[in-house]
Structure 1
């Protein structure tokens, strides 16, 4: 199963405004947690 992460334009702008160190920490967290095992890190959407 492939996962795609899509961010709004506003979120992309906010991310680019962050310091390079903080951007790197966020990218590292995504790679270490979400890419390796997204089921553990993500909360599934519930059908109402």
Structure 2
């Protein structure tokens, strides 16, 4: 579940980079959230 959310956030971030600058700040916040989720999973010892 968390990995799916992280992937969706990464895709939205990439779309934000190529589409518009107004949503740039919001998309980068989503990217940070996705990275944190992935790091938490790695620290907990779960598979990606």
Provide TM-score, normalisation by structure 2.
0.39
Q: Which has the larger radius of gyration?
A: 1
Which has the larger helix fraction? 2
Provide TM-score, normalisation by structure 1.
0.39
